[in-house]
Structure 1
Amino acid sequence: MDIRQLNYFVTLVEKNKFVAAAEVLHISQPSLSNMIKQLEKELGCKLFERSTREMKLTEPGEVLYRRAVLILKQFESTLKEMEDVKDTGFGAIDIAMIESSKYWIPKVAKQFSEEYSNVQIYFKEIRTKHMRDALISNDVHFAITTMVEDLEDTYELTPIYREELVLICPENHAFAAKSSIDIANLEGETLILTQAVFQITEIIKQAIIQSGIDLEGKYYVERLDTARMLVAEGLGVCILPASYPKYSLHQGIHTVKLTNPTPKRKVFMAYNKERYYSPAVMRFRNLIQQFFIKEDNKIGFLK
């Protein structure tokens, strides 16, 4: 069994017809049929039910399909990494990250570049709901994410920091004179929320429910910067990760600690434990962890 056989098999499954699959693969239908028969003979089991008009996988066929898809993705990823190494000498690093990561990750990148000046780094700001796809498809080497569900056992989730969510309000707002407020005091305020695809949106809604007040959002945003600008214009108040106002430029807004309850979130570094990583990728991951240990007095970093 080789890569070519697996590619033919996966293409046939996904096209569901010999004619269509053969056309995509640029081979004749008899050649594809013979290839599948040869694969079945090598494995000692039938991969397709041939008693029906539709192409239906047998149980061994289902298992092989799931495995073959992953193998082909790994093969493509390996070829890409070898091309990167050939071009740069060290390869490139692809990092998926939530938006708020951009306020601290440049500090890590600066230190990394002092050691690996020839390595290209691709920072990809990806919504939480797309992180899983980016990891499974090997589009990225690792992800900085709050997403922890639906990842298989082959993926490691390393907590790198936790942080409180804080209120940001206009600098002339009554809350700006306070160091902290109970969430119950937000009742009656115009609330700016991130859209439902953000994990922090659910954390905020649960904190509001826990406080016993009735409060819904009026403005819903896709970017944290948009929320900041709406607040600066006096259109409402917003609850954001504490790292955002600490690291970003935020003229016209004020940060207030939230209590009763104090909403918090955890941020993880996710990666495939079974994938090969270059020394450069491993070093960047290690520097991220070292950064948060060193800076643990800033935004409540995990040790």
Structure 2
Amino acid sequence: MDIKQLRYFTAVVQEGGFSGAAAKLHLSQPSLSKAIRTLEEQIGFQLLERTTKRVSLTESGSVFYGRALHILGEMDIFEKEVNEVKVVGSGEVRLGMIESVKNWIPNILSWYRSEYPDMHVVLKEVLGRNDIEQALRDYAVHICLTNEFIDEPDIVTAPLYEEKLVLVLNENHPLASRETIQFAHIANEPFIITSKGFQTRNNIMDAFEEAKVSPNICYDADRFETILTLVQAGIGISIIPRNYIGEVVPATLRIYEMDSRSLERKVYLAYIKNRYRPPAIEALLQHMIDSTALS
């Protein structure tokens, strides 16, 4: 008895007969019938009741069918795990991420290192929505951390936590002495904004529109790191995720929470719905969800 015989047998049961199973398996019907008879001879009992119209399981065949499905399911998992190891060696997980998670991800990776010390972690910066979808579908990453809700049938987007976008100023900026700052106060200030196509830019523009003022956009930048460097140099002001700055605010920086719901958003975990993930990668995904899942 071998795996091929089990696949033949389950196909006959699932198709309700030899003709449909033969077509599905790309075999001739006589060859398939012979293979099932050989299997019955090898195990020593009849698996199928054959009639002119269809076949049905014998009582013993029903028990055998259940065990065959279990074995084939385990074999499929085994083959996928072997292929994964063949491709990535001792094991590799690739995470796509936005910049603002840089202060959230260390605790996750510390846990993962302690639980799966042989897994190699690759962190890839994936920012725009199109890049996220392509990276997931091309299997360039296993999981993406993003501020974009991706409404696609093949992609699961699970909420992780909420974050706020805050106004950032140089410590010597004339507005830095104020207790609160409104959008009208910053309308004419040189503004540094994330590039077109990024969700952060959309959030910022929505907030200004709701306040019925327009930003004085003087600089576009792809990275928060660049934006903060320009702000600290006194080049302009900006709005970026509070989580990116971290718990300790640099002495050269002042931050303000603005009164706008558009500057409050969720961070999501995105992954391909039906992609096979080895247990070590599935464990990381589940730990991320469990650690900060929104109610």
* TM-score clears 0.5: yes
Deviations 1:35-73 (A, max 9, x none): xxxxxxx7xxxxxxxxxxxxxxxxxxxxxxxxxxxxxxx
Cα distance in structure 2, aligned partners of 1:255 and 1:111: 31
Cα distance in structure 2, aligned partners of 1:198 and 1:208: 16
| Structure 1 residue 291 displacement after superposition | 3.2
Q: Does the 8 Å CA contact 1:211/1:261 hold for their aligned counterparts?
A: no
Q: Which amino acid aligns with 1:185?
A: H
Match of 1:83 among 83, 86, 90: 86
Partner of 1:268: 268
Instruction: Spell out the pairing of 1:1-303 with structure 2 (5 A cutoff).
Output: 81-84=84-87, 87-88=89-90, 91-128=91-128, 129-149=130-150, 152-247=152-247, 250-260=250-260, 263-292=263-292, 302-303=294-295
Cα distance in structure 2, aligned partners of 1:227 and 1:183: 19
> Kindly tell me: are residues 235 and 166 of structure 1, through their superposed partners in 2, closer, same or farther at Cα, counting changes over 3 Å?
same
Q: Identity of paired residues, percent?
A: 28
Q: Which amino acid aligns with 1:142?
A: I
Deviations 1:228-254 (A, max 9, x none): 010001111100011012257734111
| Structure 1 residue 262 displacement after superposition | 5.5
Q: Does the 8 Å CA contact 1:154/1:274 hold for their aligned counterparts?
A: yes
In the alignment, structure 1 segments of 5+ residues that lack a partner are 1-41, 43-76, 294-301
Q: Does the 8 Å CA contact 1:164/1:241 hold for their aligned counterparts?
A: yes
Q: TM-score, normalised by structure 2?
A: 0.67
| Structure 1 residue 175 displacement after superposition | 3.2
Q: Does the 8 Å CA contact 2:166/2:239 hold for their aligned counterparts?
A: yes
> Kindly tell me: are residues 157 and 195 of structure 1, through their superposed partners in 2, closer, same or farther at Cα, counting changes over 3 Å?
same
Q: Does the 8 Å CA contact 2:208/2:214 hold for their aligned counterparts?
A: yes
Cα distance in structure 2, aligned partners of 1:148 and 1:79: 33
| Structure 1 residue 261 displacement after superposition | 5.1
| Structure 1 residue 193 displacement after superposition | 0.5
| Structure 1 residue 133 displacement after superposition | 0.3
SS in structure 1 opposite 2:188? coil
SS in structure 1 opposite 2:189? coil
| Structure 1 residue 105 displacement after superposition | 0.7
Q: Which amino acid aligns with 2:85?
A: M
In the alignment, structure 2 segments of 5+ residues that lack a partner are 1-25, 27-79
Q: TM-score, normalised by structure 1?
A: 0.66
Cα distance in structure 2, aligned partners of 1:80 and 1:220: 44
Q: Does the 8 Å CA contact 2:155/2:271 hold for their aligned counterparts?
A: yes
SS in structure 2 opposite 1:259? coil
SS in structure 2 opposite 1:181? coil
| Structure 1 residue 163 displacement after superposition | 1.2
